[in-house]
Amino acid sequence: MFFEAHLDLLQAAAEANRTRSAWSGYSPITPPDAPQAETFLALHDGATLQLSVQTQTFIAADEVSPYTGKSLNVTYSAPSADEVLGGAAAAAAALRDAGVEQRVGVCLEALDRIHLRGQEFAAVTSHTTGQSLNMACSGSGTNALDRGLEAVAMAWAAMSRVPGHVTWQQTFGKSDVTLRKRFRPRPLGAALVIACASFPAWNAYPAILANLATGNPVMVKPHPRSVLATALAVGIIRDVLTEACLPADAVQLVVDTVDEPIAARLATDPATRIVDFTGSQAFGTWLERNAGNALVFTETAGVNTVILDSVRDLSATMRTLAGGLSLFSGQMCTTPQNIYIPDAGVLTDDGRVSRDDVVVALRSAIDDLAAAPRRAAAVCGALQSESTLHALGAFAERAEADGTLVRRPAAYDHPEYPSARTVTPLLVRVDPRRGDQLPDGEKFGPVAFIIDCADRDSAVEHATASVRRHGAISSYLYCTDDEAVDAIADAYADAGASLSANLVSSMPMQYAAAYSDYHVTGLNPAGNATLTDESFIAGRFRMVQDRRQVEE
């Protein structure tokens, strides 16, 4: 029933995916205002959520709003590894036997219900991750729903490419042999999805739903300090499963604590056959090497580079770049980190601008943003974790001592929440030629390094070497020579990275569109899972076949 109800949407999504054109399956969610958001939050204050098999263990999660500093005060069932794996095993056969259309229908209905409760999800997302309410409605709202729908459409398309049955006839010697054959997609087995603290929905929806559509029971483990939004999504999926007469435990929530993490134990259990992970490069690589019985999909982190060579309009470019550095306080895996400026400065329509002036222009653009509280709040949101703020402060002190500090990471005044954990970007300027060091990998949070370099070619060389060593999720170039853009795109491609050139507009530079933009190439150290290519889907199901001879 759910399948038929959403079939038009599904077909449109599959078509958008085939053409990689601009499309969304979900109408925009109007951001709630701050009091409305708090009302949504209050709905869950003191709640105990049981979103797994029965267990005696519960955890009052350490979820604290980055805006108000108040605890969310929500308790979750916290099954042990054995309990949650037992729940998944118990749900497996019914989920498998439900068939493709029923499972896909459940996925589509769940997405629809999450969308209908979009404002509530945005409120909860904002008060756990620190995302602004705007971003929580788009990046963690419609965009995440679209990425989820994309994965469902990809899974459906992949399973649909194999015919259900065929009559096969061939001559052997002098006789014709006729076989009736059936082909059935079958799930691989229990799947673990590990979400991150700051952006839990965007990666988790595709993983959860790709698993569910292909028939694999899912264990969803959010970050222990950012649980509730994921829990609500799991709750909705469980409701829909129940209404579809399927076991709710086909999707379970697993909650752990920072001190006693459960992910490695679950990922290495022989019963776990699929792991999707979003988080640190260190744990991602560990999973790729150690979850030997599982198909492992990782999206971790890299050092995203920007090469500033030539632009039409420097101010517009600096506004775009300031927005990119500030967006969600630099806590996105697509945030630029290393900005290369050649010795000769940047060529513009108004002539060449010296590097020092470009640096000033960038700092000013950030300062302008920081000085406009309403806009700053909408763009920057807040820092998810206190530790990011501490690390940033320490880093700024060292930069000041080094003489490399360009801009201090100051707070902005949040219009509604004076005690919000706000911060605007730290800028550091280095010249590797005189021995300045760059960090050995990603610096999480709003920190950018302006890198003095000889020229465009040396920038490309340094940046692509960084891609090979540290990985990259998004890479940016400003260059008005289209042939040079081709050559630089080739250089990034050879290093295993995609490239965005000359983004200067109302679109945030790190925007990655579902159905069109591939996210993570799988060809550099920033992870092996691409949203969404066929390799993200193909291994989650396999084909079983039966064939029987038909008597002549």
CB-nearer residue toward its own copies: 230 or 334: 334
Residues 349-368 that bind its own copies (CB under 8 A): none
CA distance from start to end of the chain = 40
Contact at 8 Å (CB) between 95 and 215?
A: yes
Count of residues that bind its own copies according to CB under 8 A = 71
Q: If binding is defined by CB under 8 A, does position 434 make contact with its own copies? A: no
**Minimum Å distance from CB 253 to its own copies?**
27
Query: Could you tell me the smallest distance in angstroms from the CB atom of residue 10 to its own copies?
Result: 17
Closest CA to 535 of 236, 295, 178: 295
Two tokens, residue 93:
């056969």
Which of 173, 418 has the CB closer to its own copies? 173
Determine, following the binding rule CB under 8 A, whether residue 86 of this chain makes contact with its own copies.
Answer: no
Q: Would you count residue 419 as binding its own copies (CB under 8 A)? A: no
The stretches of 311-354 forming alpha helices (DSSP H) are 314-326
Q: How far is the CB of 528 from its own copies (least distance, A)?
A: 8
Residue with tokens 């929440």: 417
Residue 336: which of 140, 517, 478, 476 has the closest Cα? 476
User: Residue from 230, 281, 300, 498 that binds its own copies (CB under 8 A)?
Assistant: 498
The least CB distance from residue 92 to its own copies, in Å, is 10
Residue from 91, 48, 45 nearest 68 by CA: 45
Site string for its own copies, 219-258 (x = CB under 8 A): ----------------------------------------
Q: Which stretch binds its own copies (CB under 8 A): 247-255, 275-283, 341-349, 495-503?
A: 495-503
State the greatest distance between any 2 C-alpha atoms of the chain, in Å, as a whole number: 89
484 binds its own copies (CB under 8 A): no
Residue ranges in 215-294 assigned as alpha helix (H): 228-243, 263-267, 281-290
8 A C-beta contact, residue 309 and residue 459? yes
Cis before residue 532, ω within 30 degrees of 0?
Answer: yes
Is residue 367 within 8 A of residue 380, CB to CB? The reply is no
DSSP state of 517: -
21 near its own copies, judged by CB under 8 A: yes
Residues between 180 and 199 with contacts to its own copies, criterion CB under 8 A: 181-184, 186, 188
Query: Cβ 337 to its own copies, closest distance in Å?
Result: 20
What is the x/- site pattern for its own copies, positions 96-135, by CB under 8 A? x---------------------------------------
Q: Which is nearer to its own copies, 126 or 214 (CB)?
A: 214
Q: Is 483 in the site for its own copies (CB under 8 A)?
A: no
In the complex, the smallest distance separating the C-beta of residue 97 from its own copies, rounded to whole angstroms, is 9
Closest distance to its own copies from the beta carbon of 281 (Å): 14
Shortest Å, Cβ 482 to its own copies: 8
Whether residue 492 contacts residue 322, with contact meaning beta carbons closer than 8 Å, is answered with no
Integer Cα distance of 240 and 106 in angstroms: 6
- Interface residue with its own copies among 1, 11, 18, 30 (CB under 8 A) is 18
Dihedral (CA of 30, 36, 41, 43) sign: negative
The region of 124-132, 199-207, 352-360, 484-492 touching its own copies under the rule CB under 8 A is: 484-492
- Sign, CA dihedral 444-450-452-457, equals positive
CA distance 372 to 415: 10
